[in-house]
Amino acid sequence: MSNPYDLLGNDIEDPNFVFPMPKELVKNSNSSKKKDIPPPSSNPTRAKKHPTLPSKLNETYLKDRSAGRSRNVERNVPMSAGTKKQLDERKLMDRHSRTGKMDTPKKIHMGWGSPSHEFDDELDAKRDARKDARQESEHEMETEGESSGGGPKRMSLQEYMLEEETEKDISGLKYQYHTNVEAVENAEVINREHQLLTEPSKSKHHKSKNLKEKEFLDINFTFSDSVPRSSRPGRKKAPKKPTNIVQRNTSIDTSNLPSLV
C-alpha cells in the first residue's frame, strides 16, 4: 500500500457549513480598583420593599381616640381561675428547713452531749460516783460516832498518810528511780578506737585560717593650752596669682611696623 491514510476514508466537507465563532475567555481580575458599573443593589426592581413608617410613632397613638384609659375601663375583668396550688421550683432546691424545728445538730451535741466525747463523760461520771460514795461513807461514820457518844473519829499521822496514798490515782504517781551506785564504782572505761573499713584514695587537706589578732599601740598624748593671740590685726592675705600665665613679648621692633608716609 502506497498511501496508508487511505484506510481512514475520504471525508466529504459541506461547503455550506458555518464554523461557530470562538468563545472569548476573560480572566477574573482580583484588582480592588473601582469600576464604573453600578452595584446590583442599585437596581430598583431587585430592592426589598419595606413598609412606609411614619416619622414619629407617637403620632399614630395620638390620633387613635379609642386608645387609653377609656378603652381599658370598658373592658370587663376576666373571671379568676380556681385557687390552684402552684408548685414553686425554687422551694425544691431550697436548703432551708421548713419543718419548724429550731434544734440543730450542734445544739443537740452541746446540750445533750456529743458521741465523740462519750468515753470522757463516762470517766467523769465514775469519778463523781466515787466521790459521792466516799462522802456518804464519811457521813455515816460521823453519824455512828455521834450516836455512840465517842466523839469524832481520830487517826494518827501514819494512818492518814497511808489513806492518802491509797486514794491517789495510779496515773498521778511519780516513780523515783534509784540508781545502783555500787554497780558503777568498779566499772571500767572502754575507749573504742575508730576503725577504718576502707582507706580513702585521697586525703583531705584542711586549710587553717589565721585568726585576726588585735594589735594595741602605746601612744603618749600631750595636751597644752592654746597660745594667746596678739592685739594687733592680722596680716592681709596675698592676692591670688593667675594660674594660666601667658608669656607676653614686651620687646617691639619698630622695623616691623608699617610706615605712615
The average pLDDT across 54-60 equals: 63
Per-residue pLDDT reduced to its tens digit, 132-176: 999 998 888 887 766 665 556 677 888 888 888 877 654 454 444
Confidence at 126, pLDDT banded by 50, 70, 90: very high
- Specify the higher pLDDT residue, 171 or 22: 22
Q: Which one has a higher pLDDT value, 46 or 1?
A: 46
Q: Any idea what DSSP says for residue 99?
A: S
| pLDDT average, residue stretch 48-65 | 65
pTM (global) more than 0.95: no
pLDDT at residue 16 is higher than 80: yes
Asked if 45 and 39 touch (Cβ cutoff 8 Å), the reply is no
Between CA 152 and CA 141 the distance in angstroms is 9
